[in-house]
Structure 1
Amino acid sequence: MKRRTLLTTGPLAAALVAGTAACSGRIQTNQGGGAPAGDGTTIPQLTFPSEVAENVAGIANFNPFAPNVTSRTYFYEPLMIRSSMNCEVVPWIATEFAWRDEQTLVFTIREGVTWSDGEPLTPDDVAFTLNLRKEYPGADDIGLWTDVFGAPAESVEVEGQDVVISFSGLAAAKFDSLITAKIMPQHVWGEVGDPTQYVDEAPVGTGPFALGSYNGRRLQLTRREDYWQADKVLIEELILEGNYDATNAALKLAAGELDAYWGEIPNPEQAFAAKDPELNHFWYAPAGSTVLTYNLTKAPFDDEKFREAVSQGLDKDEISAKATYSVMAPASQTGLKLPYAENLLPEAYAGQDTVLPFDTAKAEELLDAAGYTVGADGFRTLPDGSAFAPKFLVQAGWIDYQAAADVIVRNLQTMKINASVQTSPPEAVDQAKKDTNFDLLLEYLHGGCEVARNLGSKLASDQVPTEDTVKANVGRWEDPATDEIIAQLSGETDPEAQKELTGQLVEIMMTKYPVTPLFYAPARMIYRTDKAEGWPSEEDPYGTNSEMLMIITRLVPPSAS
């Protein structure tokens, strides 16, 4: 059984972060926090936005299975954390993993971890947590016991310090969701019955913070000195407070009353960073891609030559400029999040610019060759001579999508395609996705590390929306050969074989154009560095706002230089 080598997270890693933190040129201040200045070895206090919507303010519930959990990040911890940027698997409650065979996954559970009530964490706690999802299927938020992207689990058992998960078939694509499972103490949760119905007012977790106080709006967390990696958590007090719109968030950040924000602030360079370049920073990491989705069940969108021409005739630089103020780069036609996933590129595309260049002349040449001739009204017809006037369906109020749609429609008209924008409420757009009642629209393509679950789900025939549910394959790409590739990739545990299968999906994207990636969609992080340094950045892209538990172990007091 081959063990996987994992990313170092010990004291050496923390020392390296501290040693390479950028000099801010500022001394530590007490702006807006109310905490003492400290001695420079810890971070007295940080303030982040609340994790819970204001409409449930006053209800304290720390149950991670609850839809409106007061905090889902800092009390209960996962088996492992996988960086959404570099896809490194970071050991957490589990120190390592291995596929014993194609259907058996083994996690080795860390020793020396204690729950916040002083009881030791054991492999039995992990097995209990996973088996709880079998007993109560409504709690199976990771799909462990279902056949979604891999075979369901058959059993979860303890062998010494290992937890052994046996599947009924190939299930490699379940790994990313499986490791996110929050581990619960059996000595507490074994008595609560259905975990989805339990109100957890006094969390007993393994996480870095204990519950300080909560008044229905302001949640105060205090650092646990007995946390298993307490030497890496230097934040003495964490405040989670408020749900801010862009304007209020920018004001709070500028005043030092908020240290980080994950929501959208349009044009963050001008609205925030430029006002104090030493302290104010942002990094909009690519989380996935915004893609142009065609209704592949109707002409002319079922013609790959038409889709190729459209893909070639879209000005992705202008689309990004209008939709994201040029913060996000145009996206690769491969469907991969580049350059971060460039190790998955097949040799045929390695080192190439896989963002399709904007070329109206080439687009028109392709349309002419495919039989889409220009009629007397100046617009192209279908090859049979009939007119067509595609509608670009866009959600009302989604400003970035509307801005992108305006450019796309203008590009289509330049190609002599009689396109127009049709604005509808978001719920109406969702209904159109279920009913296949659309021509063109924008969709999100997740850029996660499990390619079968992300790029694969956009192309898998079993991910076509139903009359009740919007699924990922909104365009209705249905191809048995593609399904076979995704099925193999879903069960493959060998990295080289995974790369080869991913390359086959990339080839489909580059030659068949099932969707057209336009620009990368952001995982937003806007932050100040007067109280803490070591945030992820374009220069050090170790994680995104999805990995806050990992990020807080990398934050250090500002340097004195």
Structure 2
Amino acid sequence: MNKYKIVSTIVTALMLISIGVFAIPILSQTSSSVQPEGSMVVVASPVGTWQDNFNPWNDPNNPAYMGLWLIYEPLALANPLNGEIIPWLATNWTWTTGYVTTSNGTKIQTLALILYLRHDVYFTDGTPFNATAVWYTIALEQAYPQLGQLAGDVANMTIINPYELEIVFKPGQTPIILYTVLEQWIVDPAQWGKLFPVEQLPNGTFVALNKTGNPFTYANPNPIGTGPYMLYSYSPQQIVLVANPHYWMPGEPRIKYILFPAEASNVPADTALNNGQITWAGLFEPDIQQNFVAKNPAYYHYYFAPSSPQMVLFNDMRWPLTDPVLREAIYMAINRTAIYYLGEYGYEPPTTTPLPLPLQMLNVLNSSVLQMAEQIAPPQGNVTGALQLLESHGYKLVNGQLIAPNGTPVPTMTIMAPAGWTDWDADLALIAQDLKQIGINVQVQTPPFSTWYNYMQTGNFWMGMIWDLITGPAPIFYFQGYMWNWWNSPGNVTPIGNTTYYNMERFNLSARLSPNSPLVNQLVYYAWGNITNPTVENQLINELALAWLKYMPAFGVVYGANWYEYVNNTVTGWPTPQNYYWPAPPWESTGITPLPVVLALHLVNQSVPEPWWYYTSQVPQSWYTSNDPFVYQPTSTTTTSTSTTTSTSTTTTTTTSTTTQVSTSTVTSTTTQVSTTTSTVTQTVTSSSSNTGLYIAIAVVVIVIVIVGVVLALRRR
């Protein structure tokens, strides 16, 4: 072989090697999972894994954590920051007078509400949103009381016209029920009515026609709503929502995809946040300034606004927690200041009272009630006072074991929080240490979120840490969650084993402040009825506070932080400490309705300046066909035309006092041909282009150096 062939062979080999060097990263970029431009990753809290359940009444995932608030919409929203009501699917409403006829023919005057609904709104299956949809949703709750919300509250409904509905409430309802009506998520009657048809009898009674099915346990794997997003894909590890192309707000939403990964605990979630892999979070993180902000101060931000108390619930039906003296002593023994510093890293200050009220609402209490609440136990706890209280009521501390007045040792109890919530896990360990000092042995349990949530709802617990059950624009909301009898309960207290959200601690709602005072749940009812009369309502709130201090159904530990982190290198429009225009955590809710939908519709992706739908023609076809919308095979740009058949169903229902109605009455279907043009394009990660140039430059330099070296060596020969 002559020297020129040798040179040629060497050069060719070097070129192939060099091409391979920079080709490898190119191939890895194009074949790996690519997150589409304009998307956003949201982690509200660790959940373990997602369950394939999108039931708006009974979602074990927690609707606020997995984006159900972007699929279903309420009639209106209440801003907890200022009490403002924002019309949504309903544009207005009017109180009027209704009448209910008793079995003996007597007419009783009662409250009635007329709803005026938004026009030109559609469910994502093409069904129009109208009075029928609202009628069906509320009727379903009357026919299946376990659904809650308005269950058992409605006497009759009449569809006045396609966009007006009158709701006549049963006697005894007060104006505060407006909040429950307006926060109601509306479901598609074309979807749910096929499975769970409902009939309204001439006397106004609502009857379930499906005698075997149960909408409360229906998993609803294909959620259909009017919201800005639709379910794109589900897996136990990630839920993906895609923007609704027919949303009723012009130009919204401007974020095309929202991803909800299922994080097992705060540790991997915090790691992903610190690495910039999460856009919007509601996570607890130790030393967030150093671990998160310092990594990219220009774009990594957080704001932990003060919130309502983080609560510990007692199971008041489980001995010996049936004794309010023991419950008060447990509260007194806990060092809430230690929890503030050691468990919550100084983010959440200790509560000044055991009451469920947020710090900014304590001013509704009169001075004597507030002083009494603050004196029960200082923030650092009072073990001596707790033991004295117990001994004065017949308890004894014998060899470190608390003995009940009946001579029985107080059994070992458990206290629960969801697995992976590292700050709550630390809080519970501190609580267990404190209770050991008064002779109570407590074991900490951290089951998966869905298990913990189920146990709390069904009463299968001793003690459990939870967020404040209800928030709202008035103090009564904060007491309502613990001191009001709701649904699925034959008596004042939901039995253990039956699911409930309100009065989850199983507190005896027939308790009184004194022998002649109203029942506790009556006080709540009276406060509801006077929500428009602050003087009377505040008096009732003070009475409820006294009842709380007397019976201690639950207690606040720290004033919870509104965990909220965001990355604004591409997405802008976030609330800031200077402009906190809306509650910012992705898990925030008021009453039954999560609130982040408002914030989500304020957000804009700077890399997508036009509304998201401007880019639909550029979305790769495989994003619509693959199980994973972010993995596709790069191909040359082609254009395909597809014909889609869409069925639009219109259901008409008229409700009167003399006509039997069924939600699944005559359905008229029309077929529309829609031509959709999509282009398949090759998309690469931005950083890959710059890296590719670097690899090419290195390869060229290597080739030149080797060629020069070989030529010089041959000349010497």
Aligned length: 501
Unaligned runs of 5+ in 2: 1-32, 98-109, 198-214, 486-490, 513-518, 587-593, 608-717
Q: What's 2:622 paired with? A: none
SS at match of 1:530: coil
Shift of 1:335: 2.4
Unaligned runs of 5+ in 1: 1-31, 37-43, 147-151
Whether 1:542 and 2:582 are equivalent positions in the alignment is: yes
2:567 aligned partner, one-letter code:
R
Shift of 1:479: 0.6
Q: 1:297 to 1:538 in 2, by over 3 A?
A: farther
**For the residues of structure 1 that align with 2:151 and 2:256, how far apart are their CA atoms?**
38
Q: What's 2:278 paired with? A: 258
Whether 1:466 and 2:495 are equivalent positions in the alignment is: yes
Q: Residues 334-389 of structure 1: CA distance to partner in whole angstroms, max 9, x if unpaired?
A: 523423444654565679995942353872695398367987858877679x6855
**For the residues of structure 2 that align with 1:424 and 1:410, how far apart are their CA atoms?**
14
Whether 1:403 and 2:426 are equivalent positions in the alignment is: yes
SS at match of 1:458: coil
Of the candidates 116, 122, 128, which is equivalent to residue 108 of structure 1?
A: 116
1:530 aligned partner, one-letter code:
N
**For the residues of structure 1 that align with 2:48 and 2:397, how far apart are their CA atoms?**
53
**For the residues of structure 2 that align with 1:424 and 1:529, how far apart are their CA atoms?**
37
SS at match of 1:328: coil
Of the candidates 565, 572, 576, which is equivalent to residue 533 of structure 1?
A: 572
Q: 1:114 to 1:295 in 2, by over 3 A?
A: closer
**For the residues of structure 2 that align with 1:465 and 1:111, how far apart are their CA atoms?**
40
**For the residues of structure 2 that align with 1:360 and 1:344, how far apart are their CA atoms?**
26
**For the residues of structure 1 that align with 2:456 and 2:126, how far apart are their CA atoms?**
53
- TM-score using structure 2 length: 0.57
Query: In angstroms, what is the RMSD of aligned CA positions?
Result: 4.7
Q: What's 2:185 paired with? A: 182
**For the residues of structure 2 that align with 1:371 and 1:158, how far apart are their CA atoms?**
59
Whether 1:367 and 2:389 are equivalent positions in the alignment is: yes
Q: 1:260 to 1:466 in 2, by over 3 A?
A: same
Q: What's 2:713 paired with? A: none
**Preserved CA contact (<8 Å) 1:93 1:110:** yes
Q: 1:344 to 1:176 in 2, by over 3 A?
A: farther
Between 154-163 and 289-298, report the one with greater CA deviation: 289-298
Q: What's 2:168 paired with? A: 166
Whether 1:122 and 2:130 are equivalent positions in the alignment is: yes
**Preserved CA contact (<8 Å) 1:434 1:470:** yes
SS at match of 2:194: coil
**Preserved CA contact (<8 Å) 2:116 2:164:** yes
Whether 1:551 and 2:599 are equivalent positions in the alignment is: yes
**For the residues of structure 1 that align with 2:44 and 2:310, how far apart are their CA atoms?**
27
**For the residues of structure 2 that align with 1:429 and 1:202, how far apart are their CA atoms?**
22
Q: What's 1:419 paired with? A: 440
1:485 aligned partner, one-letter code:
L
Q: 1:91 to 1:267 in 2, by over 3 A?
A: farther
**For the residues of structure 2 that align with 1:132 and 1:504, how far apart are their CA atoms?**
36
Of the candidates 519, 523, 526, which is equivalent to residue 558 of structure 2?
A: 519
Of the candidates 354, 358, 374, which is equivalent to residue 338 of structure 1?
A: 358
**For the residues of structure 2 that align with 1:113 and 1:527, how far apart are their CA atoms?**
31
Q: What's 2:73 paired with? A: 77
**For the residues of structure 1 that align with 2:398 and 2:429, how far apart are their CA atoms?**
25
Q: What's 1:280 paired with? A: 300
Of the candidates 20, 38, 46, which is equivalent to residue 40 of structure 2?
A: 46
Shift of 1:78: 1.2
Q: 1:423 to 1:167 in 2, by over 3 A?
A: same
**For the residues of structure 1 that align with 2:314 and 2:184, how far apart are their CA atoms?**
32
SS at match of 1:104: strand
- TM-score using structure 1 length: 0.71
SS at match of 1:244: coil
**For the residues of structure 1 that align with 2:56 and 2:322, how far apart are their CA atoms?**
43
Alignment of 1:240-319 (within 5 A): 240-245=259-264, 246-262=266-282, 265=285, 268-283=288-303, 286=307, 288-291=309-312, 293=314, 302=323, 304=325, 308=328, 310-319=330-339
SS at match of 1:192: helix
**For the residues of structure 2 that align with 1:296 and 1:56, how far apart are their CA atoms?**
30
SS at match of 2:113: strand
**For the residues of structure 2 that align with 1:193 and 1:407, how far apart are their CA atoms?**
49
**Preserved CA contact (<8 Å) 1:332 1:338:** no
| Overall identity of the aligned pairs, in % | 18
Q: 1:218 to 1:466 in 2, by over 3 A?
A: closer
Shift of 1:290: 1.7
Of the candidates 524, 537, 541, which is equivalent to residue 502 of structure 1?
A: 541
**For the residues of structure 1 that align with 2:136 and 2:259, how far apart are their CA atoms?**
30
**For the residues of structure 2 that align with 1:117 and 1:375, how far apart are their CA atoms?**
65
**Preserved CA contact (<8 Å) 1:95 1:110:** yes
SS at match of 1:289: strand
Alignment of 1:428-467 (within 5 A): 442=465, 445-449=468-472, 455-460=479-484, 462=491, 464-467=493-496
Q: 1:433 to 1:451 in 2, by over 3 A?
A: same
Q: 1:377 to 1:522 in 2, by over 3 A?
A: same
Shift of 1:46: 2.3
1:469 aligned partner, one-letter code:
N
Q: What's 1:237 paired with? A: 256
Shift of 1:81: 1.7
Q: What's 2:154 paired with? A: 153
Between 428-437 and 515-524, report the one with greater CA deviation: 428-437
**For the residues of structure 2 that align with 1:191 and 1:419, how far apart are their CA atoms?**
52
Name the larger-Rg structure: 2
Q: 1:392 to 1:442 in 2, by over 3 A?
A: farther
1:144 aligned partner, one-letter code:
L
SS at match of 1:256: coil
